[in-house]
Amino acid sequence: MMSWKPMERGSWKLASPEGQTGNAATSPFLSQWGDWRPASPGHPDRQAALPAASLSLRMWFLLLLAFALATARLPAHGPDHEVILALTAELALKPGDVQLHLNRGERYRSHGDLTNARIDFEAALSNNPACQPARLRLALVARDQDRLPEALQLLDRTLSAEGTNLLARAARADVLVRSGRPADAVPEWDRVIAGSRSPRPDLFLSRARTILMADTNAWRKALAGIDEGLRRMGPVPSLQRYALELEEQGGDTTAAVLRIDAILEGVERNERWLTRRGDLLRNAGRLAEARKDYRRALAALDRLPERLRRTIASEELRRELDAKLAVEPKNPGTSPR
C-alpha cells in the first residue's frame, strides 16, 4: 500500500509498496496515464509523447487548470461559486461553447464580477456574432461599469435585430436616464409597458419618475401613468403610495384624501392609511381634521387582537400617533386646500 513520507523542509513524497519514493506528481491518479514528463538524454526510457494516454492526460490537466483559474478569479465563495466551477470544467472540455460562456458570464454578473462576466460575453460573441443574448448581457455589464455609450451602441444593435425585445428596450430606457436624457427615455418606457402582458409595478414607477426628471412640473402626466398601472394591476400599494405623493406634491390634497378614502373601503387593516390621511391633512394645514384621523388610527389599533397589537410595528405606530397628538394645534384650520 502506498503511503506519504515527510521529507526535508516539510515536503512530502509518495512511497510505493516496494519502498521507492517519488514526488506527488507521480501519484496513482496521474501515473495510470503514464509518465507525463518529456524525454531527456539522461532518461532514454522516458517517451516524449504517449499514444493513447496523452490526450486524456491533457484533458485532466486542462480540467485541473480550469478549476484553479476559476477559484482564483472568484472574489469569495458564494452561492454561485460551485456553479461557476462546474461551468469552468465544462468549458475546459468544450472550449468556445457559446451557451456555457453565457451561463458562466451571467453567474459572474450576478456575483458582481463584471470583469470576468465581460470576458465570457465577449467570448460568446466572438464565437457567434449573431448571438443577441450575449450582446444584451454585454450591454448590461457595460451599463453597470458606467460605459454608457458602449452600452447604448450594443442595445441599439440588439434592438435592430430584435425590435420586440422588451428587456433590451427597458435597458435602453435605463441607459438613457443614466446618460442624462430622460425625455428620450420616456417613449422607451411607454413601449415596454405597452408590449408587456403582465408589467411589473416598477415599470410604471420608473416611467413616472423619468417623466418628472424630464419636466418637474409634469406631475399630472406622471400621475396618469401611475393610474394606468393601477387600472391594469389593481390596488398595488407601491403605486397607490406614489400616486398620493404626486397629488400631494402637486398641491391637490383633496384628490389625495379622496384616493385614500377609496383605498379605505377595500382594506381590512386601516390604521396606517388613516395615519397617512392625517398626515396629508396636517401638511395642508387642516390640523383639526388631521387629529381626528390620528385618533381613528389609534382606535383601529385598539381593535386589533392582542397578538397584533403587541407587534413591534404596531407599538411603533402607536408611539408615532401619540407624539403627533401631543402637539397642540396653533391654527386648527379646516378649510380645504
Q: Which helix (H) or strand (E) segment is 153 a member of?
A: helix 148-161
Residue 45 in this model has a pLDDT that exceeds 60: no
Cα-to-chain-centroid distance, residue 56? 40
Strand partners, 65: none
Query: Closest Cα partner for 300 from 326, 323, 278, 328?
Result: 278
Q: What are the tens digits of pLDDT across the range 303-322? A: 999 999 999 999 999 999 99
**Single-letter amino acid code for the residue at 106:** E
Alpha carbons 245 and 85: distance in angstroms, whole number: 48
Residue 23 in this model has a pLDDT that exceeds 50: no
How many Cβ atoms from other residues are within 10 Å of residue 69's Cβ? 12
Alpha carbons 28 and 31: distance in angstroms, whole number: 5
Range name among 39-48, 192-201, 249-258 with the lowest pLDDT average? 39-48
Q: What percent of the chain has pLDDT over 70?
A: 74
Cβ burial 105-121 (10 Å sphere, 16+ → b, else e)? bbbbbebebbebbbbbb
What are the residue boundaries of the structural domains of the chain, listed by start? 57-163, 272-337
Average pLDDT over residues 284-294: 95
Average pLDDT over residues 333-337: 44
What is the chain's mean pLDDT, rounded? 81
Contact present, 203 and 233 (Cβ < 8 Å)? no
Average pLDDT over residues 185-193: 97
Q: What percent of the chain has pLDDT over 90?
A: 64
Contact present, 18 and 2 (Cβ < 8 Å)? no
For the record, the C-alpha cell of 336 comes out as 380645504
Q: Which helix (H) or strand (E) segment is 328 a member of?
A: none
Q: What is the DSSP string of 232-245?
A: HH---HHHHHHHHH
Residue of 80 and 325 predicted with greater confidence? 325
Identify the pLDDT of residue 85: 85
Cα-to-chain-centroid distance, residue 185? 21
CA dihedral 218, 222, 223, 225 (to 10 degrees): 140
Query: Closest Cα partner for 61 from 39, 40, 36?
Result: 36
- In the 8-state DSSP scheme, what is residue 43? B
Instruction: Give me the numbers of helices (H) and strands (E) for the chain, helices first please.
Output: 17, 3
Range name among 19-33, 50-64, 160-174, 297-311 with the lowest pLDDT average? 19-33
pLDDT band at 266 (very low <50, low <70, confident <90, very high): confident
Range name among 37-46, 114-123, 162-171 with the lowest pLDDT average? 37-46
How far the first Cα of the chain sits from its last, in Å, is 93
Average pLDDT over residues 157-170: 96
12-15/3-6 β-pairing: antiparallel
For the record, the C-alpha cell of 329 comes out as 394645534
Class of domain 57-163: mainly alpha
Q: Within a 13 Å sphere around the CA of 250, how many CA atoms are in the beta-carbon half?
A: 20
